[in-house]
Chains A and B, each alone.
Chain A
C-alpha cells in the first residue's frame, strides 16, 4: 500500500511549495482528537523525522510517521472545490465513520 496524490492535488501542492519557497514535501498523519476520535494532519514538511515512511507520488514527496500510517495507508489525497470553498480531501479506505463535519473520523 502507499499514499498517493491525485493530479489536481499534486499540482496544488507544487504551487504552494514553490510559493512558500522552501520545504521538501508534504506531511500526512493523524492525531487522536476530535469528535470521532481521529483527525487528519496536513502540513508542509521540511525534512524527514526519524522512522518516517517516505512516499513519492506525482513528483511530490510524502512523509508519514509509522504510527499514523496504520490509519491512513492507501489514502489518496485529492483537491476539491465546493462552491467558494476549496481544499484537500483525504480519500481514506480505512475510514469507517466520519463526524458530520468531516474533520475527524474513526477506523
Chain B
C-alpha cells in the first residue's frame, strides 16, 4: 500500500505519475538529500537516523559495490589509497590543476588520454565524476526508499564560484548516478530559498557560509521574485578547523607542550579544542584536562572571553572578505535586508555576535546551518517538478569571471562581464583584419585581465569559409551563451554566407577558487598597468595596419608620387617603425598621426585615380 502525501489544492497527481523531486547538497565533507513532503521540507535520514552522509567512498576489489559514508571513513586509515574523500575539490579539474593542489594528496592519479584525471583504486581507475556519482547514488536510493517511488528529478547545489568545467562535471556525476538533474543551484541561493526569502519583499541578502575548512560570502539581490547573485568572495583556507587550531595552540602554550609534540598528542589536542569550542556555545566556561606525554596532566579553564580573544582575528578576516563582497556588489551594509548563516562554524556564538555587529542586524539561524542548503535545493526541486501551482520561482545566478575572446595584439575583448546574471546570451560583431582573409580563430578566455596571457584559456575553434573581402568588410557575429546551469557555448557566424562554427566548453581543466580569487585580485592590482598595456597593444595593432596598407598602396600606386614625396613618406614610415615596439603608446600614436598626415595627399590622389578608372568608358548621365 503506497503511503500518500498531502498535495497543494488541485495538484494531486495520477497514480504512478507522482512528481517526486529531491534537493542534494553535494558537499566536500558531507552530503545531504532533502525533499518536500506534505508541504514540509526536511533532510532525509538513513536507517540509522543519520542525515549527513560523509562524502567518502571506499573502493573494494572483487567487484563488490563501493562503501560510502561513515563506514568508508573508518577504513580510511587502513586503506588510504582506495578510500577517497574531498573529491569535490577535483571535480572538473585537469591533472595539472590537481598537481597544483599540493603534492600531499594521498591518492595515485593516473594520466589518461582524456584530460580527465583518474584515481587508481583496486576497482580500477576512477574519475572524480565517478566517485561523486557513488555518493549521489546512495542519496538517490535513500530518497527513493523514503518516498516509496522513483525520483523524477533533482536539484544539486554547487559553490557559486564553480566554473563551467566544475558545473558540467557535477551534472555528469548526477547523470551517471541515474539522476535527472533538473538544475544546478548555487549554494548561497539555495540557503536564501530555504528561509523563504524569495517570498519576501525585494531586497539584498547576504549569505555567510563558514564551514570546517572554507569560507564563502555571497551577496544576493531579490528583484520581482527573481534572485540574482551580485557577488561572491571567500577564503578557501579559513574555517572552524582554524578555530580549533587557535585553541589548541593556546592550550599548548598554557600547558607548556612544545611544538615537537607527537602527531597523536596534537590530534588529541585538536579534538579537545573542538569539544571545548562546541561546549562554549552553551556554557560560559569549560574545564580542560590534558594528559601530558610524561604521564602528568594539565588542568585549565577556557572561558568565552578567552575563546573570543583567540578567534577574533580569524573572524575579522571573514568580515574583511564580507566587506569586499559588498563593495563588489556595489551595496552598502545598510542595504542588506537579511543575513543567512550557513555551515557548522556559524554555531559559534562569537561568529554570530560579530556578524550582528557588522551587519547591524541579527543573522538568520533558525534552520540547521548544516542542512539549510539541501532544504533550499529541495524546495527548488519541488517547484521545478511541477508540484507548486502558479509559482514562478526563477533563480538567477551570476558568472564568476568575465568571458571574452582574443583579438589582435593578444588583447582580450570581454563579451560577458563578471557577475552578469545567467542565463545570458551576448553577441558582438567582429571583422577581418587582412584583405582576403577567409578564416578566423576564436579563442575563448575567462578572466579579468586585459592580456590573453594573463587570462585562462577555455578553448578555441576556427571559423572557415569567410568570403574573401577587403579587411574590415566581413561581419562575423560571435555569440556567447551561458545557460541556467552556468555552462558556456560560443558560436561564430559570418553574416553574408551564414557559415557557422561553435564550441561547447566541456570539462577539461579548471581553476581552483584560490586561483579565481587571485585572478580577481591581480586584475585590481594591475588595473593601471593593464590599461597602459592595452593602449600600447592597440596602437601597435593600428600601426601595423597602417604600415601594411601603405606598403600595398606604394606598390600599386607608387607612380603617383614624386621621388621627393616618396622620401617624406618613407621617413615617416621609418619613424613609426622605430617606435612601434616601444612601450609608449603616445609616441606610437603621434608617429601614426604623422604618417597619416604625410600620406593624406597620396590617399587623395589614389582616390581620384580609382574614381577615374571607375568612370572611364562611362557617360556621366549613367550616374544620375
Binding site for B on A (CB under 8 A): 12-13, 15-16, 19-20, 26-27, 31, 33-35, 39-46, 80, 82-90, 98-99, 101-104
| Contact for A43 among B3, B11, B148, CB less than 8 A | B11
Q: 0/1 per residue, B32-48, Cβ < 8 Å to A?
A: 00000111100011110
Given the complex of chains A and B, what is the CA–CA distance between A88 and B1 in angstroms?
Answer: 10
| Contact for A87 among B5, B8, B9, B44, CB less than 8 A | B5
**9 residue pairs from A and B, CB less than 8 Å apart:** A27-B9, A35-B16, A39-B14, A40-B4, A44-B39, A84-B45, A84-B145, A86-B146, A87-B4
What residue of chain A has the Cβ atom nearest to residue B38's Cβ?
Answer: A16
A-B contact count (CB 8 A): 92
Interface range, B side:
20 to 34
Q: A84 with B39: in contact, given A31-B12, A43-B8 (CB under 8 Å)?
A: no
Structural contact, B146 and A84, CB atoms closer than 8 A: yes
The dominant DSSP class at the B interface is loop
Q: A102 with B44: in contact, given A13-B6, A20-B39 (CB under 8 Å)?
A: no
What residue of chain B has the Cβ atom nearest to residue A104's Cβ?
Answer: B15
The dominant DSSP class at the A interface is strand
Structural contact, B14 and A34, CB atoms closer than 8 A: yes
Given the complex of chains A and B, what is the CA–CA distance between A46 and B389 in angstroms?
Answer: 13
**Inter-chain contacts of A45 with B (CB < 8 A):** 9
What residue of chain A has the Cβ atom nearest to residue B14's Cβ?
Answer: A33
Structural contact, A82 and B5, CB atoms closer than 8 A: no
| Contact for B9 among A39, A43, A99, A104, CB less than 8 A | A43
Given the complex of chains A and B, what is the CA–CA distance between A33 and B12 in angstroms?
Answer: 12
**B window 33-73: CB within 8 A of A:** 37-40, 44-47
Q: A35 with B6: in contact, given A16-B38, A20-B39, A44-B39 (CB under 8 Å)?
A: no
Binding site for A on B (CB under 8 A): 1-12, 14-16, 37-40, 44-47, 142, 145-148
| Contact for A88 among B5, B12, B39, CB less than 8 A | B5
**Inter-chain contacts of B148 with A (CB < 8 A):** 82, 85, 87
| Contact for A102 among B2, B14, B45, B147, CB less than 8 A | B2
Structural contact, B4 and A89, CB atoms closer than 8 A: yes
**Inter-chain contacts of A88 with B (CB < 8 A):** 3-6, 38
**Inter-chain contacts of A34 with B (CB < 8 A):** 14-16
| Contact for B2 among A16, A41, A101, CB less than 8 A | A101
Given the complex of chains A and B, what is the CA–CA distance between A103 and B172 in angstroms?
Answer: 34
What residue of chain A has the Cβ atom nearest to residue B37's Cβ?
Answer: A87
**Inter-chain contacts of B145 with A (CB < 8 A):** 83-85
Structural contact, A102 and B9, CB atoms closer than 8 A: no
Scoring B2, B39, B145 by chain A CB atoms within 10 A of each residue's CB, the highest score goes to B2
